[in-house]
A and B are shown apart, each in its own frame.
Chain A
Amino acid sequence: MSTDSKPTIFINPAKCIGCRHCEIACAVEHSQSKDLFSAIFEDPLPLPRIHILPMGAYNVPMNCRHCDGAPCVEVCPTGALYHDEQGAVMLAEDKCIGCKMCAIVCPFGIPEFDALNGVMFKCDMCPDRRAEGREPACVEACKTGALQFGTIDEIVSKVRKEKAEQIVKLKEGEVEEEYNGWDLYRSMQTVVIRINEGDSK
């Protein structure tokens, strides 16, 4: 079995509480100053590459999946989109002609158009940070673990270990109902959504 050493950003909607700190951190990372208090006064204002979408009682972080066989890279007529050495899908602004083909073929609706500069923009997995061995800005900002950074093998083996632990605990009857305020809130929110949508008995 070959191992994939390319890192990526994994999402876990069950843990996303919609604080949108990732969006702010992303915009700051892609600003000129890389400093929040300066970034908000920059012209043009920096834009985030990750978006939190509310879906009923859940929030889903939507960011670039940096696909192996990325349709956006394949379809780009000028070669502006390419994989870097770590496998991240990058966009060379100087080559981009703003044809939006990448947005058309992306299965996740990720590439966006920057009308001011006439080019596309998307998640680049924070190359400056990666060069320093740091996590992307959005992952660092996420305090709940809804965003995780690592290789597929790292993440999957971690999840596998957690599940195995749970199975053992289940068998030994050690599983305690752990208090989880967010799950409690979400279950109540589900009721509100149901009622607002017209289920009023």
Chain B
Amino acid sequence: MKKNYKEVSIDPTTQQMYERAQEMGIETVWERLEKQQPQCGYGLLGICCRNCMMGPCRINPFGGEPKRGVCGADADTIVARNLLRMIAAGAAAHSDHGRHVALTLLIAAEMAEKFKKEGKPVLELDNMASNTLPYQVRDVEKLKAVAKRLGIETEGRTIREIAKEVAEVALNDFGKQDEEAIAFLKAYLNPKTYEVFEKAGEKAGMPWFENGILPRSIDREIVESLHRTHIGTDHDPVSILLHGLKTSLGDAWGGSLIATELQDILFGTPQVIKAEANLGVLKEDYVNIVVHGHEPVLSEKIVEAAQDPELIELAQKYGAKGINVVGMCCTGLEVLMRHGIPIAGNFLQQEMAIVTGAVEAMVVDVQCIMPATVDVARCFHTKIIDTSPIATFPGAIHIKFDERRADEIAKEIVKTAVENFPNRSKQRVEIPKEKMEGYVGFSVEAILKHFGGTLKPIEDAIIEGKIKGVAGLVGCNNPKVKQDHNHIKIANELMKRDVLLVGTGCWATAAMKYGIFLPEYADTENVGPGLREFAKEWGIPPALNMGSCVDCTRILVLADMVARDLNVPIHALPVVGSAPEAMTEKAVSIGTYFVASGITTHLGVVPPVLGGPKVVKILTHDLYDIVGAAFIVEPDPYKAAKKMYDHIMKKRKELGI
């Protein structure tokens, strides 16, 4: 069925490429969604259980039989179990990413040690780098700051020694077996919120959660999630969901936090920089390489290799002016934040980028990469190159990554792309013109630097009421929602009400495409007078790009700092979260860890929980009593913004401001 291009997206480049795909008979995500209709209601409501072979079982949502699965599980047990498995999968994805970064830091430190012993040049104190090492500590200051938080001695030690120990503490958090909370959580979380976590079991009427929802080990909580949801184990929706909070906190203050902090150490902490976004960043005369996925461990090296004079010369030999690396999804945001590499788009534009006919290679790592990219690429000369040993795409070229040979492999990948340039059919190239500039790179460190080493100006503006509160907008596109529509509407509705926005992931890319990351945006009618004044006073856009979806931890660290300054738990702050177009299991984990950490969070896409009335009540109501925050589910962006604003105002009132 032919769909109107205006129904699928508000982005003009997506509209243009979607029409082009239709004309060319190329199937895209929207046709596939259409072909999936109707989607199974048991799945949509979360009342389908496939956890054992007595099943699959499903519960009649209209109250009649069957009311229970073969084992006797009712709708609420089934819904809670399914949700816990989603949280576990999301936490696993983020955390495995974090583990990869920690291992890379360890490999870097160990390689430096080996080089030192072999008498090869390794700088001693300022850096552990030599030109022959693939990875180095780019941000020594951050390394020392993280080490200090973790209680690791830095005085009189070499960078490689400190880096090794930081990596070891991080890796220990994944697999330790004691009952203590993970080291990174203890190092980063304020005592008042820590206490909330500790007492969550008691508050939920389950005192056998002795340490509440404090995660003991990142991997263990994920494994325990699978154990609890195995047939015949945990059946109480309350305890199942409590463990869900715990697992998500292992992601928040563990896996994801490790990913962000250690990436900053290895690749540099983002600083404010101007860059461009949307499909218009593809260049007609250049070899275009799209780096797509989530882990910057490889894409950092691709960016480097693309600057190799020999490869640029090769590109010129084939008639290109040079090599143009652009990003997609969160890998795109990683290199955008750190190097100002332009970002071509968010999740729903991955196929659209290929439809331009101008992409020589799409280099993919992990998460949110549609296997369909391979099929779309078959219609053009584009090569999909998969690089992660854990993510293989049938029909793609496999150039698997190895940190120890990072430079060599990155060059091979870039060379493959360059050599594909002559295969491009020039008559079949159509690159949309639209692109937008914006300021990015608002890491916590960059924000502190901008405000003179303190968050006091933001806090004062909140207390004064110039800014009513802060909203963390995150996550995903979902073809069930018109692309970017809810992202932008909710952002505008909140900014109109003087709510400062911080955001990550596909929301951040959406916001950037619409100019929200330009300081000038504060002059538009979409920004309220208080926020406008504040933004102008400090020379910032009314919304700050804090990075990829794994970087949601930057939002948590920021909230933690404000909570410390005001001496309250995070849940007392006038702060809300929202995933307006949520799609992934990672988004479920993020939403859950926001809520568990005390940030009431809106979901714009209904998660598969409505089949369990008790679960719905716990998630949207009871959690206020347990962790001080809960979920708001609302598909209408206007109503959603209103509800979020009301929550902010409620929190202001409680704080007496």
Task: Pick out which of these stretches binds chain A: B130-138, B609-617, B643-651.
Answer: B609-617
Complex Cα distance A143/B637, Å? 34
Contact yes or no, B613 A181, CB < 8 A: yes
Q: Is A3 an interface residue (CB 8 A)?
A: no
Tell whether A181 pairs with B42 under 8 Å between CB atoms, given A143-B66, A188-B606, A197-B7: no
Output the residue of B6, B486, B610 with the most chain A CB within 10 A.
B610
Chain B residue nearest in CB terms to A52: B38
Specify the chain A residue showing the minimal Cβ separation from B617.
Answer: A179
- A184 interfacial contact with B, CB 8 Å: yes
* A185 close to B635 (CB less than 8 A): no
A195 to B7, CA, bound (A): 9
Q: Which of the candidate stretches B54-62, B295-303, B526-534 sits at the interface with the other chain?
A: B54-62
Q: B63, B66, B611: which contacts A178 (Cβ < 8 A)?
A: B63
Which of the segments B268-276, B442-450, B477-485 contacts the partner chain? B477-485
B52 contacts chain A at the CB level, 8 A cutoff: no
Considering only CB atoms and an 8 Å cut-off, how many residues of chain B contact the other chain?
38
Contact check, A145 vs B40: say whether CB atoms are below 8 A apart.
no
Contact A145 B62 (CB under 8 A): yes
A17 and B7 contacting across the interface, CB-CB below 8 Å: no
Cβ–Cβ contact A180 & B62, under 8 A: yes
Instruction: Type the 1/0 row for A138-153, where 1 means its CB is closer than 8 Å to any CB of B.
Output: 0000011100000000
A190: nearest residue on chain B (CB-CB)?
A: B635
Cβ-based interface call for A2 (8 A): no
Residues of chain A from 1 to 38 with CB closer than 8 A to chain B in the complex: 15-20
Chain A residues with CB below 8 A from B372, complex form:
none
| Shortest distance between the CB of A199 and any CB in chain B (Å) | 10
Are B636 and A191 in contact, with the CB atoms below 8 A? yes
- B64 contacts partner chain A, Cβ-Cβ < 8 Å: yes
With both chains docked as a complex, state the minimum distance between the C-beta of A194 and any C-beta of chain B, in angstroms. Answer: 9
Determine whether the beta carbon of A54 is less than 8 Å from that of B63: no
Q: Which A residues are in CB contact (< 8 Å) with B44?
A: 17, 185
Complex Cα gap A44–B378 (Å): 30
Chain A's closest residue to B613 (CB) is A179
How many Å from the CB of B234 to the closest CB on chain A?
22
A52 CB contacts on chain B under 8 angstroms: 38
Chain B neighbourhood of A145, CB < 8 A: 60, 62, 64
Q: Is the CB of B606 within 8 A of A18?
A: no
B64 contacts across to A, CB distance below 8 A: 144-145
Which of chain B's residues 538-564 have a Cβ closer than 8 Å to chain A?
A: none
CB-CB under 8 A for A17 and B40, given A188-B606, A191-B636, A195-B636 = yes
Q: Are A17 and B45 in contact (CB under 8 A)?
A: yes
* One of A144, A188, A200 near B62 (C-beta < 8 A): A144
Q: Does A63 have its Cβ within 8 Å of any Cβ on chain B? A: no
Among B39, B47, B616, B633, chain A packs the most CB atoms within 10 A around the CB of B39
Cα distance A195–B613 when bound, in Å? 27
Given contacts A19-B40, A19-B41, A188-B635, contact A181 B61 (CB under 8 A): yes
**Is the beta-carbon distance between B58 and A181 smaller than 8 angstroms?**
no
Most buried by B among A15, A144, A189: A144
Question: From residue 31 to 45 of chain B, which have CB atoms closer than 8 A to chain A?
Answer: 37-45
Chain A, residue nearest B605 (CB)? A192
Given the complex, which residues of B lie within 8 Å of A195, measured CB to CB? 481-482, 485-486, 635-637
CB of B10, distance to nearest CB on chain A (Å): 8
Contact check: which of B6, B39, B47, B636 meets A18 at CB < 8 Å? B39
Known: A143-B60, A185-B45. A20 touches B40 (CB 8 A): yes
Are B635 and A182 touching (Cβ within 8 A)? no
Q: Is B283 an interface residue (CB 8 A)?
A: no
Q: Point out the residues of chain A lying under 8 angstroms from B100, CB to CB.
A: none
Tell whether, in the assembled complex, residue A192 and residue B38 are in contact, meaning their CB atoms are under 8 Å apart. Answer: no
- Contact B61–A144 (Cβ < 8 Å): yes
A residues less than 8 Å from B75 (CB atoms): 181
Interface residues of A in 46-83 (CB under 8 A from B): 52-54, 59
- Report A's interface with B, CB cutoff 8 A: 15-20, 52-54, 59, 143-145, 178-182, 184-185, 188-189, 191-192, 195-198, 200-201
Binding site for A on B (CB under 8 A): 6-7, 37-45, 47, 58, 60-66, 75, 480-482, 485-486, 489, 606, 610-613, 616, 633, 635-638
- Please name 8 pairs of A and B residues whose Cβ atoms are closer than 8 Å in the assembled complex, sorted by A: A16-B41, A143-B58, A178-B63, A181-B611, A189-B606, A192-B635, A196-B485, A198-B7
